[in-house]
Amino acid sequence: MKTTKPNDRPVVQRVQTGVRMERRLVKVLKALAEYFDMSLGDLLEGICLRAFEGKRPFSPETIETIGRLKAVYGLDLDASASHRMQEADD
């Protein structure tokens, strides 16, 4: 859905999801959403919509903020871990 004017706000229907994600990654995402004073869902929607268009979801300044948040929450994963993670034994 594209809008023609900057002030147009598309009407959408949102659904609850039951996705599972790595714990520290979720903490960083929640902290980043809080940093921008937005919901986690809004942050994830923005990341996905930009990625779907081949755009970078974050500015260089935001990447620096993410780096600090990763350090705070001990997130040592990078893109190379994608699709290779396994569940920890309970």
Residue-wise pLDDT tens digits, 78-90: 999 999 999 988 6
Confidence at residue 3, expressed as pLDDT on a 0 to 100 scale: 53
Distance CA(58)–CA(46), nearest Å, equals 10
Distance CA(47)–CA(61), nearest Å, equals 16
Positions of E strands within the chain: none
Q: Check whether 4 has a pLDDT greater than 80.
A: no
Q: Calculate what percentage of the chain has a pLDDT beyond 70.
A: 92
8-44 residue pLDDT tens: 889 999 999 999 999 999 999 999 999 999 999 999 9
Confidence at residue 6, expressed as pLDDT on a 0 to 100 scale: 65
Alpha-carbon Rg for the chain, nearest whole angstrom, is 15
* Amino acid (1-letter code) at residue 51: A
Its pTM stands at 0.85
Contact of 15 with 56, CB cutoff 8 Å: no
